[in-house]
Amino acid sequence: MPGKTKLSVGYGPNIKTINVELPPSEPRPWDTVDDMTVVGTPQPRIDGPLKVSGEARYTHDIALEGLLHAAVLRSPWPCAKVSRIDVGPAAKQAGVGAAIALVGVGDKLIFAGQDVAAVAATRPELARAALASIIVEYEPQPFVVQTRDAMRDGSPQVHEAAVEERRTGADEPGAERAQGKLSGNVRPGRSQKRGDAKRALNKAPVRFEATYTTQCHTHSCLETHGVVVRWNGKKAATVWASTQSIFGVRDEFAALFGLEPSKVQVITNFMGGGFGSKFGANASGTALAKIAGDLARAADKPVKLMLDRAEEHVCTGNRPDSIQLVKLGATNKGKLTAIHVQAHGTAGIGTGAGVGRNAASVYTKVPDVLVESADVFTHAGPAVAFRAPGHTQGAFAMESAIDELARQLGMDPIDLRLAHDAHPVRRWQLELGRERFNWDARRKAAADMRARNTRVRKGVGCAVSIWGDFGGTEARVTIEIGRDGRVVVKNGVQDIGGGIGTVMAQVAAEVLHRPVEEIEIQIGDSKLGPGVGSGGSKTTSSITPAVRNAAELAKAELAELAQTALEVNSTKNLRWTAEGVSVGRQTLSWADLCKRIEGEAIVAVGFRARNSAAHPRSFPGFETPEIAGAQFAEVEIDTWTGEVRCTQVLALHDCGRVMNELTLRSQINGGIILGTGYALMEERVMDPSLGVMLNANLEQYKACGVKDVPEISIVLTEVISGNNSTGAYGIGEPATIPTAAAIANAVGDALGVHVRSLPITPAKILDALEQQQRASQGGTK
Amino acid sequence: MQPFAIIRPKRVDQARELVVGKPELRVFRAGGVDLFDRMKEGIEDPELLVELRDALTAGVELTKDQPLVPVDTNPLPPAPRYVSAGALTTLAQLAAAALPGVDALHQAAGQAATPGIRNTATLGGNLLQRPRCWYFRNRELVCLKKGGDTCLAITGDSRYHAILGGGPSFIVHPSSLATALLALDAVASVFVGDEQASPQPVLPLHELFVGPEQDPTREHKLAPGDLLTRVWIPVLDDMRSAYQAVREKRSHDWPLVEAAARLRLDQGGSMRDVRVALGHVAPIPWNASQAAALLEGQTPSAKLFAQAADAALADAAALEGNAYKIPMAKGLLRQVLHRASGLALPE
Ligand SMILES: Cc1cc2nc3c(=O)[nH]c(=O)nc-3n(C[C@H](O)[C@H](O)[C@H](O)COP(=O)(O)OP(=O)(O)OC[C@H]3O[C@@H](n4cnc5c(N)ncnc54)[C@H](O)[C@@H]3O)c2cc1C
């Protein structure tokens, strides 16, 4: 197999040949020359019928003989010392199999919702009822839940000592670790630097400065976090988990209980949403696997712990809020010379409130850049990675500032972007979007409505995203081709809703020329071999190359059987088709070919090699491709009532090779819907004087409903980069990065004034209009 | 939610009897949308649900008839015809009824909640549902409504609370139908006696609701066991009405503010019998009588509507987090007045 080879890579009309060096045994990556027949076509999910008929069994649905249901008593106080705890009375309640304390006298609780005690009982409502009999006395302490309050001198201190930064596989790969020293509740963290931004700002003839804020956003997974634990003797366990990382759960569970990882089997047949929050065995703010495991041991029965909706909001993570001071320096002609972002955000008692790479790494033509992020600790549930961690916050502030500067300079915001962004694909997307969205005409219409001061306004905006291909090499995919012709593809990866199983079947079908429906996919179980955590948008780019490589190995073995059977000199002369394998007029059917397999089956194991190319541009600090995206949004606003709707979104995304157009579009739709909720309505509300979350439900925590979804059109700007054997990258995260920023920019276009705070509610629209009116009456122009 | 039993009495007096005996443990269930939410939220754990399906009626019609009323009560407002709706009429039925003059009711019913809820929720249950305040609905908090000593919105997050008529409690009344029906000058028939034969009283809608100064732990006047049986809307000749709400979401969401208006246009084009109501601004459905007075006898104009909106909100006092409701209510009311009177809205 090839060492050095040439690949034809590129996008749109920009195709070129590059030289790449491949490890031995690595097949030549599919490039622009390869004709795909299955990969890239829209393929309905292979498990769709199970899901829509309700037959699919999620962790919530697991029922076992003797199963007990757990419930957790949680701290009602944002900060308190435990002065007494007695779970004895709970153990005596009806149906209770075990009751355990999770804190001791003298322990300090630092957010409302923290674990205090737990009970397992024969029915969920009996477990909840038994919690009421647990005796706990608390000594409430001063607390702080609002970010700005926590930043003030003398505010109650959340952590007395340094805080260990906790990372999961869903954090942005390569992001710097926070390392500053804690001062009060503030700990300076990540920074990204190029040149000397402060000096450049001082010298800039045009300066723009504004503070942008974003809200705390909860993941709101439809299937809440949860596990079912069954001990198989003292040293082994089976864990059913609603997780994005089967092996992450396995390793953490093993570590929690001092077991050999190989003695822990983790199963996730179906799962209902994670968005970054379901990486470990425990959740970020509740030790759910430890609790279930301890209860199961104490009761000597399997235990199920599924959180309820309020717990899901309060203690399983969230996207940190942010307060971002953005300063831009420019020349009079609109050349950006400096970017300086100072960001503060709260991840509650946890860490990781950085703001991603939009500011530092998109506008690479700006010479001087400084982006500083700091964590602010508050007495609230800890944050955790959330679909494109940091990036949605960062994109909102940076992309808003670009638009506001363009307005100040009298420039078109797309021109300002194009002048400072060197990524050829993003530039292509912006030009394409400008044309497809009818940008110029819509901007003119918006300006006209503003000038006439109409009651109903429309406006358009755009914003861009940056992400990387973070596909990894750790997965091992097994393919079995049986003597009966059956093809089975196995891997311990979980399908978190993206549809990886379907794409695996497509890749195997492509290589082996078999129908997709005849490929059997087995996933969702640690026994099926090393998978990959679904975070960083890397599932498809980690798994599909491994599937292809395994299938190619198996096919090579089949080819040798065919060579003998058809009596040809070289396997190169074989032609593979849907009918089987042929030479000249002779054809050996698939069934007959497989009958020649010696023993039960051919078994091959494949893995993805390291990245082999990154055309046309690599992600900063990585050898892998940088993924570009741009979105355009239209909004409609009633200026009398402040009502604001996002009516249309045009999304242009680079996603490497399109593997399954249907599930790909689904991912992009999902990203836009999430981004629309983030832009306009989702927000965790904490009571400042009680320190508790007020909207821990899906009624007052307002996620997009079907009627709030804009009309979405998607343009796939496919890029063949040569990165791996299939050419896949990820799309889950990039697709949600620019949405809120594009919507905010559209609001700015409609009103002529920018709303600098998410979510952009009717209240904030009315406030912005009032301030605009006051400013114009003040005659300061 | 804790286990409970359910019973379905055949007659209204039996229903009443069942609840009057043990009001803390027994409760009526109509559509059950609000009731089950309260039970799931753990703020109530009744033992017995008394289902009203067989004891009351559903259906809406146009009629010339009036109910018999006791000698000492006021009859219905005079009108040539009435819309009469049984307490079990669903929101979906009210939305689809297509009756003259009562567009405000159709619109309020048709925009509330979600299609699923509208198919289940009833007129009576909608009017008598409990507030949605996030302090009241949080089982761990003891607010004024639940016997505590203060309304937690005062020190807390009041973005969804009252700007008019608040204090000592600042909830907003949740019922969209109440806003529309108040503007439509509706009257409710109630069942308060155990003798089915004798005429039962009627209550004009504004008398049904109880403000927090009177009693912060309740929102309406009916004693446990009393039933709302029917609602009557006077349909005046040439009557027109409109309703509108502002929501953050387009479905499955509560109004931030709502407004409704009813009027007649006389031959000279002047507005007569004007009534204006606002919702989600006050602990009770809010009768904006100053606005109505200002409009009465005038010809519709954009300027006049803006003045009426200012008058309706003249007494508004915002808490920390809800000042936005004042301009919002004004803007919304202006739109509703344009729509009710037929004066085109500016572009
Ligand atoms: C997400 C969401 C959004 C919503 N949005 C809106 C909205 O925009 N506007 C709106 O108005 N509502 C809205 N609702 C509320 C919904 O409309 C009400 O819960 C519903 O109308 C209640 O009617 P029901 O028949 O189900 O009442 P039930 O739950 O059966 O009863 C409510 C209460 O009234 C009592 N009761 C019922 N009928 C009678 C009677 N005839 N006599 C005496 N007592 C009685 C019951 O004992 C109970 O206490 C929303 C609800 C949800 C969940």
Query: What is the pLDDT at residue A297?
Result: 98
- C-alpha distance from B299 to closest chain A C-alpha (Å): 22
Backbone angles phi, psi at B285, to 5 degrees: -55, 135
Residue A649 forms beta bridges with which residues? A633, A712
Testing ligand 1's pocket by substitution, the residue of B117, B173, B175, B248 carrying the most ligand atoms inside 8 A of its CB is B117
Encoded tokens for B343: 């004066």
Task: Please identify, by atom number, the ligand 1 atom nearest to the C-alpha of residue B36.
Answer: 29
Residue B346 falls within a domain, yes or no?
no
Provide, as residue numbers in chain A, all residues whose Cβ is less than 8 Å from the Cβ of B346: 454-455
Cα→Cα distances B45→A131, A240, B1, B6, B40, Å: 16, 33, 7, 13, 9
- Which residues 6+ apart lie within 8 Å of B303 measured at CB? none
Q: What is the pLDDT of chain B when averaged over all its residues?
A: 96
Q: Does B1 touch chain A (CB under 8 A)?
A: yes
- Which residues 6+ apart lie within 8 Å of B289 measured at CB? B276
Q: Peptide bond before A759: cis, by omega within 30 degrees of 0?
A: yes
Q: Does A690 touch chain B (CB under 8 A)?
A: yes
Report whether CATH 3.30.1340.10 matches the domain A423-469+616-776: no
CA B177 / ligand 1 centre spacing (Å): 10
From CA A372, how far away is CA A390, in angstroms rounded?
A: 12
Cα→Cα distances A371→A192, A297, A361, A635, Å: 5, 49, 10, 30
Residue B347 falls within a domain, yes or no?
no
Q: Do A655 and A491 contact (CB within 8 A), yes or no? A: no
- Specify the length of chain B in residues: 347
B72 and B136 inside one domain: yes
Query: What is the pLDDT at residue B197?
Result: 62
- The pLDDT-based confidence of B70 (bands split at 50, 70, 90) is confident
CA B228 / ligand 1 centre spacing (Å): 13
Residue bearing tokens 């199961």? A296
- The upper half-sphere exposure of residue A634, i.e. CA atoms within 13 Å in the direction of its Cβ, equals 23
Residue A568 CB neighbours (<10 A): 16
Q: Does A139 touch chain B (CB under 8 A)?
A: no
What's the CA angle centered on A614, arms A610 and A617, to 5 degrees? 145
- Which residues 6+ apart lie within 8 Å of A383 measured at CB? A216, A284, A317, A318, A319, A320, A346, A347, A348, A350, A351, A352, A353
3-state secondary structure of B201: coil
Encode pLDDT of B29-65 as tens digits: 999 999 999 999 999 999 999 999 999 999 999 999 9
Task: Please identify, by atom number, the ligand 1 atom nearest to the C-alpha of residue B27.
Answer: 47
From CA B146, how far away is CA B137, in angstroms rounded?
A: 10
Q: Domain boundary at B55, B71, B98, which?
A: B55
Alpha helix stretches (DSSP H) within B98-242: 103-111, 115-120, 123-128, 176-183, 205-208
- Identify which has the larger pLDDT, A1 or A265: A265
Encoded tokens for B251: 């479905």
Provide, as residue numbers in chain A, all residues whose Cβ is less than 8 Å from the Cβ of B256: 762-763
3-state secondary structure of B169: coil
- The pLDDT-based confidence of A161 (bands split at 50, 70, 90) is confident
pLDDT mean over B271-291: 98
Binary contact (B134, A688; C-beta < 8 A): no
Dihedral, CA of residue A398, residue A399, residue A402 and residue A404, to nearest 10: -100
B97 and B112 inside one domain: yes
Q: Do A273 and A496 contact (CB within 8 A), yes or no? A: yes
Binary contact (A705, B249; C-beta < 8 A): yes
In chain A, pLDDT over 70 holds for what percent of residues?
99
Q: Based on DSSP, count helices (H) and strands (E) in chain A, helices before strands.
A: 19, 31
Encoded tokens for A12: 């749109």
CB-CB: which of A641, A681, A705 is closest to B328? A641
B8 and B110 inside one domain: no
Nearest to A712 by CA among A631, A621, A598, A620: A631
Q: Do A495 and A524 contact (CB within 8 A), yes or no? A: yes
Provide, as residue numbers in chain A, all residues whose Cβ is less than 8 Å from the Cβ of B134: 685, 694-695, 700
Encode pLDDT of A659-692 as tens digits: 999 999 999 999 999 999 999 999 999 999 999 9
pLDDT mean over B286-290: 98
Residue B223 CB neighbours (<10 A): 12
CB-CB: which of B3, B140, B347 is closest to A76? B140
Q: What is the pLDDT of chain A when averaged over all its residues?
A: 96
Provide, as residue numbers in chain B, all residues whose Cβ is less than 8 Å from the Cβ of A687: 152, 156-157
B239 and B324 inside one domain: yes
As assigned by CATH, the class of the A66-158 domain is alpha beta
Minimal Cα distance from A642: which residue of B? B328
Minimal Cα distance from A695: which residue of B? B134
Residue B334 falls within a domain, yes or no?
yes
Query: What is the pLDDT at residue A167?
Result: 81
pLDDT above 50 for A287: yes
From CA A638, how far away is CA B311, in angstroms rounded?
A: 22
In chain A, pLDDT over 90 holds for what percent of residues?
94
3-state helix, strand, coil in chain B (%, to 5): 25, 20, 50
Could you write out the DSSP letters of every residue in A726-779? S-B---TTGGGTTHHHHHHHHHHHHHSS---BSS--HHHHHHHHHHHHHHHHTT
Q: Does A76 touch chain B (CB under 8 A)?
A: yes
**Domain of residue B128, CATH code:** 3.30.390.50
B116 and B241 inside one domain: yes
Cα→Cα distances B160→A685, B121, B157, B254, B259, Å: 12, 23, 8, 9, 16
Testing ligand 1's pocket by substitution, the residue of B8, B19, B24, B35 carrying the most ligand atoms inside 8 A of its CB is B35
Element (H, E) at A188: strand A186-194
B104 and B171 inside one domain: yes
From CA B38, how far away is CA B139, in angstroms rounded?
A: 9
Encoded tokens for A296: 């199961």
Task: Please identify, by atom number, the ligand 1 atom nearest to the C-alpha of residue B177.
Answer: 11
pLDDT mean over A391-405: 98
B9 and B120 inside one domain: no
CA B126 / ligand 1 centre spacing (Å): 4
Q: Where in chain A is the domain with CATH 3.30.365.10?
A: 36-62+220-316, 423-469+616-776
Backbone angles phi, psi at A433, to 5 degrees: -65, -40
Binary contact (A455, B346; C-beta < 8 A): yes
Give the closest residue (by CA) to ligand 1 atom 5: B113
Provide, as residue numbers in chain A, all residues whose Cβ is less than 8 Å from the Cβ of B2: 125, 129
Binary contact (A704, B249; C-beta < 8 A): yes
Query: What is the pLDDT at residue B196?
Result: 56
Q: Peptide bond before A616: cis, by omega within 30 degrees of 0?
A: yes
ipTM more than 0.90? yes
Nearest to B126 by CA among B113, B138, B143: B113
Q: Where in chain A is the domain with CATH 3.90.1170.50?
A: 66-158
- CATH tag for A36-62+220-316 (out of 3.30.365.10, 3.20.20.70, 3.30.300.30, 3.40.50.300): 3.30.365.10
Q: Does B140 touch chain A (CB under 8 A)?
A: yes
pLDDT above 90 for A170: no
Provide, as residue numbers in chain A, all residues whose Cβ is less than 8 Å from the Cβ of B319: none
Minimal Cα distance from B328: which residue of A? A641
Binary contact (A456, B159; C-beta < 8 A): no
CA B49 / ligand 1 centre spacing (Å): 15
Residue B124 falls within a domain, yes or no?
yes
B4 and B140 inside one domain: no
B62 and B49 inside one domain: no
From CA A512, how far away is CA A481, in angstroms rounded?
A: 10
Cα→Cα distances B330→A645, A653, B258, B278, Å: 20, 43, 10, 10
Task: Please identify, by atom number, the ligand 1 atom nearest to the C-alpha of residue B222.
Answer: 43
pLDDT above 70 for A2: no
Give the closest residue (by CA) to ligand 1 atom 3: B113
From CA A218, how far away is CA A384, in angstroms rounded?
A: 10
**Domain of residue B21, CATH code:** 3.30.43.10
From CA A86, how far away is CA B66, in angstroms rounded?
A: 64
B175 and B288 inside one domain: yes
Total number of domains constituting chain B: 2
Binary contact (A700, B155; C-beta < 8 A): no
Query: What is the pLDDT at residue B76?
Result: 93
Q: Do A299 and A330 contact (CB within 8 A), yes or no? A: no
Nearest to B342 by CA among B255, B238, B250, B186: B238
Encode pLDDT of A446-497 as tens digits: 999 999 999 999 999 999 999 999 999 999 999 999 999 999 999 999 999 9
CA B122 / ligand 1 centre spacing (Å): 7
Binary contact (B331, A706; C-beta < 8 A): no
Provide, as residue numbers in chain B, all residues whose Cβ is less than 8 Å from the Cβ of A694: 134-135, 138, 156-157
Q: Do A585 and A649 contact (CB within 8 A), yes or no? A: no
Q: Do A393 and A341 contact (CB within 8 A), yes or no? A: no
Query: What is the pLDDT at residue B2?
Result: 84
CA B239 to chain centre: 20
Query: What is the pLDDT at residue A781?
Result: 41
Binary contact (B253, A454; C-beta < 8 A): no
Query: What is the pLDDT at residue A461?
Result: 98
Burial of B172 (0-12, 13-18, 19+ CB in 10 A): buried
Q: Do A278 and A289 contact (CB within 8 A), yes or no? A: no
- Which residues 6+ apart lie within 8 Å of A394 measured at CB? A324, A341, A343, A355, A356, A357, A358, A359, A371
Q: Does B327 touch chain A (CB under 8 A)?
A: yes
Binary contact (A692, B138; C-beta < 8 A): yes
Detail the DSSP E strand segments found in A570-693: 575-577, 580-583, 586-589, 601-606, 626-638, 644-653
CA B318 / ligand 1 centre spacing (Å): 27
Residue bearing tokens 């944050």? A383
- The pLDDT-based confidence of A189 (bands split at 50, 70, 90) is confident
- The pLDDT-based confidence of A1 (bands split at 50, 70, 90) is low
Spell out which residues line ligand 1, taking CB within 6 angstroms: A 699; B 27-35, 52, 56, 87, 112-113, 117, 120-122, 124-126, 128-129, 174-177, 222, 227-228, 252, 254-255
CA B33 / ligand 1 centre spacing (Å): 6
B162 and B243 inside one domain: yes
Binary contact (B3, A125; C-beta < 8 A): yes
Q: Do B241 and B103 contact (CB within 8 A), yes or no? A: yes
Residue B328 falls within a domain, yes or no?
yes
Provide, as residue numbers in chain A, all residues whose Cβ is less than 8 Å from the Cβ of B332: 640-641
Task: Please identify, by atom number, the ligand 1 atom nearest to the C-alpha of residue B30.
Answer: 30
Q: Do A15 and A8 contact (CB within 8 A), yes or no? A: yes
Q: Do B168 and B144 contact (CB within 8 A), yes or no? A: yes
Provide, as residue numbers in chain B, all residues whose Cβ is less than 8 Å from the Cβ of A773: none
- Specify the length of chain A in residues: 781
B135 and B39 inside one domain: no
Domain residues for the domain of B329 are 57-341
Q: Is the pTM of this model over 0.90?
A: yes
Minimal Cα distance from B137: which residue of A? A694
